[in-house]
Amino acid sequence: MKKFPKDAMRMLKETSRTFYIPITFLQKELKHAVASAYLVFRAIDEIEDDERLDNDVKHDILMQVSELFKTPFDNEAYLRILGDTKEQLPEVAIRLEEWLEACPEEALSIVMDAANEMAYGMAKWSKVNWNIETREDLDDYTYYVAGLVGVMLSDLWALYAGEKTDRELAIGYGRGLQAVNILRNEEEDMDERGVSFVPDGWTRQDLFDYANENLAQADEYMKSLTKKSVLLFCRLPLALAHKTLKAMEEGREKMTRAEVEETVKDVQIKA
């Protein structure tokens, strides 16, 4: 069994506030698999999110990176693909190979397959400037950036904990969390990136309905889980999503820090 790098957990704590705490709830090998997967996804996400990169450049980089996940990872090829952009990308993106190396061997193909699919989907949507016109478009985008993460986690639950879950509910879990993010960042995405993830003709209430519908699927997904550490992992981001949505429905921008801390405490007490 290879040693999991301490630096990976440091990086995770710095880059993923929502998932760092729940990942620490998981048992050793599963914790390492999920932690490395999140760092891999974060690396890809940083390429998609970089405002200084032209969309066509993002598309080309992400399509090539997607292909790299189909074979044993070639870091020299990766750095070559990034080219000059590596000067502006954060550390988590540059060190992608390390996060793959940190992944337990038995979980690596699951993580690589998900990363391949995510990079491809992000490339596709970068090319069209995230032009979401219909409900189907929104479903497609939220699948690539979050729903497939739900599927990958379910595969890891099955591998390490013998948990059997429904694929569509797992996608709903990921989509629900992403829909809440879209609602929370709607103004910022438009102001800073000139991007709207809201389908044509939709009101903000339609987006709330979409989030609630998918979070209801996430609630159903939870009922199929029996392993305590897995339940605990899934419960915290979902509780935060529900409460963030409620705060926004009440006209507040987000939960207070005290509410977040109280939610974390509540979930741990119920464990």
Output DSSP code: residue 134.
S
The predicted-structure confidence for 113-153, as pLDDT tens digits, reads as follows 999 999 999 999 999 999 999 999 999 999 999 999 999 99
Per-residue model confidence (pLDDT) at position 270: 62
Set out the domains of the chain in order of their start, with CATH numbers: 1-129 (1.10.600.10), 131-271 (1.10.600.10)
CA dihedral 77, 79, 85, 88 (to 10 degrees): 160
- Within 13 A of 48's CA, how many CA atoms are on the CB side? 27
Question: What average pLDDT does the structure give for the chain?
Answer: 92
CA distance 185 to 188: 5
Mean pLDDT score, 195-215: 95
- Is the pLDDT confidence value at 227 over 90? yes
Q: Are 118 and 148 in contact (CB under 8 A)?
A: yes
Q: What is the 3-state secondary structure (H, E, C) of 23-89?
A: HHHCCHHHHHHHHHHHHHHHHHHHHHHCCCCCHHHHHHHHHHHHHHCCCCCCHHHHHHHHHHHHHCC
CA dihedral 40, 14, 269, 227 (to 10 degrees): 10
CA distance 159 to 111: 12
The predicted-structure confidence for 6-63, as pLDDT tens digits, reads as follows 889 889 999 887 788 899 889 999 999 999 999 999 999 999 988 889 999 999 999 9
SS3 content of the chain, % helix, strand, coil (to 5): 80, 0, 20
Mean pLDDT score, 76-96: 95
What phi and psi values does residue 79 have, to the nearest 5 degrees?
-65, -35
Helix, coil or strand: residue 198: coil
Block residue for tokens 């880059």? 15
Q: Are 93 and 47 in contact (CB under 8 A)?
A: yes
Cα-based angle 122, 221, 258 (whole degrees, multiple of 5): 80
Helix, coil or strand: residue 112: helix
Rg of the chain over CA atoms, in angstroms?
A: 18
